[in-house]
Homo-oligomer: A and B are copies of this chain.
Amino acid sequence: MIERDVKIHMERALQLANKGWGKTHPNPMVGALVFDQGVVRGEGYHKQVGASHAEINALSQLTGKLSSDATLFVTLEPCSTHGQTPPCIDAIIRSGIKRVVVGAIDPNPKHRGRGLDILRKARIEVIEGILSRECEDLNLLFNFWIKRRSPLIAGKIAMTIDGRLATRSGDSKWITNLQSRMDVMKWRRLFPAIAVGANTVLTDNPSLTSRMDNREIWCPIRIIIDPKLRTVNSKLCKVYNDEYMKRTVIVVSKDFNTKEKRKLLDPSIDLWKIATSHDGVEWDAFRRKCIEKNIFGVFFEGGAKTINSLINSRELNYLFSYRAPKLLGDPEAYSVFTEYNPERINSAITLGQVQHATFGDDELMRGYIKYPNKGRQ
């Protein structure tokens, strides 16, 4: 098989994996296919937690005898341990497959590479690292959870070329184009929870649902950061009144007496009482609450104050930065303002494992946030 074909099949496996977008938590998305003598003989993906794995779904479609050239393409290293399903490694060996091409390696340090070792011992040829960056990127929530046992706290900002989130008067509708905003809908579908600050609710009254073409509306867990319950006086807030209101959570200050205001809310709406300081929520406590609730990732959509506060407490793990070909050139316009204020460029916050995309004239840069060492300016 020539290299180009190997990539084409892995791209197809990635496409298959993507069919599980947002549905596999806490499992990863995985796609697999079997290619033998010029023909794709089986395809599969992991549909949801509890369902069979991608490799099993692909292998189950095989009929007749495989040639010695039969190759399994899989976006993630096959599992070697018993989870809710038996290990895929056993099924692969039993199937008679003679070659396995793998995208990403299992991010779990305990299992990393183990599945591939077992395959090699069973005299199956293993080819690693095909589109590995893309295959890893597909499971950014899963990878983080497995390695850190903590939710990926991500922030979205939509900016002008000169890094402005809104004009001096607060206008931000719209900096980015429709295609960029549709991409945000995709991430709302992936992250189990979306969060916004109270000001965003009061100003924009968002529904925080994911509305994508040709798909049902999806409502993630909607977390409103509102230590003093300023938003609940408004009878009109969608997140407290629409058909998904039982998916709404409000983060309130531990010290705040919620008794009176609670009555204004539907009883199905959850309140998380979390410690706050003068600066806002204590984000490490918020993170622990997410772990307790098995929430594997939170997508913060603003506002600027909330994102800044998360960066200042070093609790923002990932940044989505959309950029439109617009320029405000105004020092009074809103931007990301933190407390770092470095003197040197090499003391800046940076992003790692950066991914780029374009949406019409807009572009997206995203990656894991790396904070500078403390005390190093």
Contacts and interface: CB of A to CB of B under 8 A. Distances in A.
B327 A172 contact: no
A354 B325 contact: yes
A327 B343 contact: no
B311 A345 contact: no
A164 B348 CA distance: 11
Say which size band chain A's interface belongs to: 35 or more
Interface stretch (A7-15, A116-124, A154-162): A154-162
Copies of this chain per assembly: 2
Contacts of A350: 325-327
A363 B363 CA distance: 9
Contact of A361 (B326, B339, B351): B351
Nearest to A339: B329
Interface string A191-235: 000000000000000000000000000000000000000000000
Interface string A295-312: 000000000000010010
A358 B358 CA distance: 10
Contacts of A340: 328-330
A319 interface: yes
A171 B356 contact: no
B159 A163 contact: yes
Contacts of A356: 358, 363
A110 interface: no
A161 B341 contact: no
Interface string A164-203: 1011110111110000000000000000000000000000
B174 A341 contact: no
A336 B345 CA distance: 17
Contact of A341 (B175, B330, B358): B330
Nearest to A163: B163
11 contacts: A159-B162, A161-B319, A163-B164, A168-B341, A326-B350, A329-B336, A330-B341, A331-B331, A332-B341, A361-B367, A363-B365
